[in-house]
Structure 1
Amino acid sequence: MAPLRQRRFCFFDDDPRSKIREGDLANIRRKYAIHPSVGMRSPSEFERTPDGGASEVVIYEAYLEAGFQGSIPSLIAQVSSFFGFCPSQLTPLTWRTLMAIQVLGELHGFSVGVHEILYSYYFSPLVNKAWLYHL
């Protein structure tokens, strides 16, 4: 019987590198009508999604293509701030779930915050991508 192939782990290959560079930012700003007051920067060669600063929000171009207009729902912002990660580190299903909870709360006139979410759910990293979190 042949021995099992050993898995190689490489710290920097946990998530894909961005292909966007400084020259692409003007095209993205024009294509998605991003206001000039919004600061934008491209990542360095070795930067990853979780490396964004405290005052930065990482946005994938796929979100812009899907119609994201730049406002982060308050419940997602509260959860991200509470745990100290970027809103883009939440999986799309987690975004949908949190937005649905917020909309239902507003519709029925009650406030939903981080503690109400943590009463029913918990956040954990995805098994194969430790930088993404899901409910």
Structure 2
Amino acid sequence: MAPLRRRRSCFFDDGPRTEIREGDLADMRRKYAIHPSVGMRSPSEFERAPDGGANEIAIYEAYLEAVFRGVIPSLIGEVSSFFGFSFSQLTPLTWRTLMVIQVLGELHGFSIGVHEILYSYCFAPLVNKAGFYHL
């Protein structure tokens, strides 16, 4: 059995830091056909996804590889705006649940907003991942 990794600080180590730097952004823009009007920046050395500014969203390269191109479903946008957190702070299961609710609402011809979601669900922070939320 391998020995446990020793922690060098008292802070929680939540994995490796990003390896994307400013020079890599042009390559990513070309590789994923990101329009020049979309502003992009690489994170600082100690910055994490929830640390972004109010008008920023963090997109992981895995999302781009899965053909995500920035179309945020309106219900997810409304919920994120209502609570004041970034889209990327929602767990994948929360995204999936909200998208299903929105699609079913559109299919059956009724409008679903934040208040309808809060009637049945509540948003809670993840216990093991600060800055992320789930239903």
Aligned counterparts of 1:86 and 1:66: Cα–Cα separation in 2: 20
Unaligned runs of 5+ in 1: 1-6
Quote the offset at 1:58 in angstroms.
0.9
Q: Deviations over 1:69-112 (max 9, x none)?
A: 11101100011111111101111111010001001111111110
Q: TM-score, normalised by structure 1?
A: 0.88
Aligned counterparts of 1:35 and 1:18: Cα–Cα separation in 2: 23
* Equivalent residues in 2 for 1:77-96, closer than 5 Å: 77-96=77-96
Q: What amino acid sits opposite 1:104 in the alignment?
A: L
Unaligned runs of 5+ in 2: 1-6
* Equivalent residues in 2 for 1:1-135, closer than 5 Å: 9-10=10-11, 13-14=13-14, 16-135=16-135
Which 4+ runs in 1 deviate beyond 6 A? none
Number of aligned positions between the proteins: 128
Quote the offset at 1:48 in angstroms.
1.2
Q: TM-score, normalised by structure 2?
A: 0.88
Pairwise CA RMSD: 1.6
Aligned counterparts of 1:30 and 1:112: Cα–Cα separation in 2: 37
Higher relative contact order (CA 8 A, sep 6+): 1
